[in-house]
Structure 1
């Protein structure tokens, strides 16, 4: 089972985000656009985990790591692209200390020792690397894109990524609620 831990966007936010990217999506229709059902913010990717016991152990360690973490709000910050061997278009979010602490607590509890800095982002499309001119044009377009979404994160989810055909299917394996902070009057 290919597993990852993620924040799922509420259905209304997925619809709103889809509206906000529809023009650029039409303009670059040949890109591999991620369907709104699959919109999420990956916290950690675990890769292949085979045994049920290992999955249960993983779930228990996640639960233990986040038992005292409060719910929080995610605020979009804009759109950009990242080049590796392909181009990834993504929405990035305001960096909040609470989300960085959440990821760090989980990594520590699972004894994951990587130095990768967590940057909250949501992938919206992939494509092959274009020419430098196309790249610069796309980068400008993304900078002008007005992305304005925010939502409360009250739980995180363990998903299984099932590769069927071109698009993966994400199946929710488990959910982990965050604390609802008490409001003082």
Structure 2
């Protein structure tokens, strides 16, 4: 099962992501756009993992996060990862805060205990699109974009399955680990 551990963004962020995508389309950018409904902050990408091991991971993560303090995250500026001086991925930053760093560290401890790969370069963001074409004045276009600052609550992490198709990725919740101590297994 191709999966990842992430923080959901609440109700207001998806509309913001869709709005940015629409502005970029009108400016001439072409991309595999991430639907706003798929917006999330990835804590760890798990790649392909068996359901039994995923269930063990969820159980361990739920125990580890029991009592973790709820907190808020805030969206930030629009940025990009580049490749050969062109934007490869356009994203919205997530303002870093100590609670998010601690949450990623707690997630990492569980991954390491299960000998699962850990990304050493945690850069919290919301992916807007994976670029296929950028117009000649792409830097100037990106510099003119402004986005709403949105604050959203974090009280749980979710393990998603990523299902790839020609239409793009679909994310399905597999487990949700609440900081209050609950573990929800979603119907597979």
TM class by shorter chain equals 0.7 to 0.9
Q: Normalising by the residue count of structure 1, what TM-score does the alignment of the two structures yield? A: 0.83
1:30 equivalent in alignment to 2:30: yes
Greater shift, 28-37 or 53-62, is seen at 28-37
CA distance in 2, matches of 1:169, 1:115: 22
In the other structure, the counterpart of 2:129 is: 125
The count of residues paired between Structure 1 and Structure 2 equals: 175
CA deviation map 1:105-126 (0-9, x unaligned): 1111221574623221010011
RMSD: 2.4
Alignment CA distance shift 1:19-1:108 (3 Å): same
Kindly indicate whether the alpha-carbon contact (under 8 Å) linking 1:61 and 1:106 is maintained by their aligned counterparts in 2. Answer: no
Aligned residue in 2 for 1:5: 5
Alignment-derived partner of residue 163 in structure 1: 164
Partner residue in 1 for 2:61: 62
SS of 2:6's equivalent in the other structure is strand
| Cα shift at 1:82 | 0.5
Q: Displacement, 1:69?
A: 1.4
Secondary structure at the counterpart of residue 121 of structure 2: coil
Match of residue 139 from structure 1: 139
User: 1:4 and 1:102 mapped to 2: Cα distance?
Assistant: 15
Matched residue SS, 1:22? helix
Unaligned runs of 5+ in 1: 180-185
State whether residues 17 and 39 of structure 2, in contact with CA within 8 Å, keep that contact through their aligned partners in structure 1: no
User: Does structure 2 retain, via aligned residues, the 8 Å contact 1:3–1:161?
Assistant: yes
Q: For 1:17 and 1:25, how far apart are their aligned partners in 2? A: 12
Using the alignment, how far apart are the partners of 1:21 and 1:128 within structure 2? 13
List, as ranges, runs of 4+ consecutive aligned residues in structure 1 with deviation greater than 4 Å. Answer: 112-115
Matches within 5 A, 1:33-182: 33-50=33-50, 52-84=51-83, 87-111=88-112, 114=118, 116-128=120-132, 130=134, 134=136, 137-147=137-147, 148-179=149-180
Conservation of the 8 A alpha-carbon contact between 2:61 and 2:110 = yes
SS of the residue 1:119 aligns to: coil
1:182 is matched with which residue?
none
The unaligned stretches of length 5 or more in structure 2 are: 181-188
Cα distance change on mapping 1:154 and 1:143 into 2, 3 Å: farther
Structure 1 residue 104 displacement after superposition? 0.7
**Larger strand percent:** 2
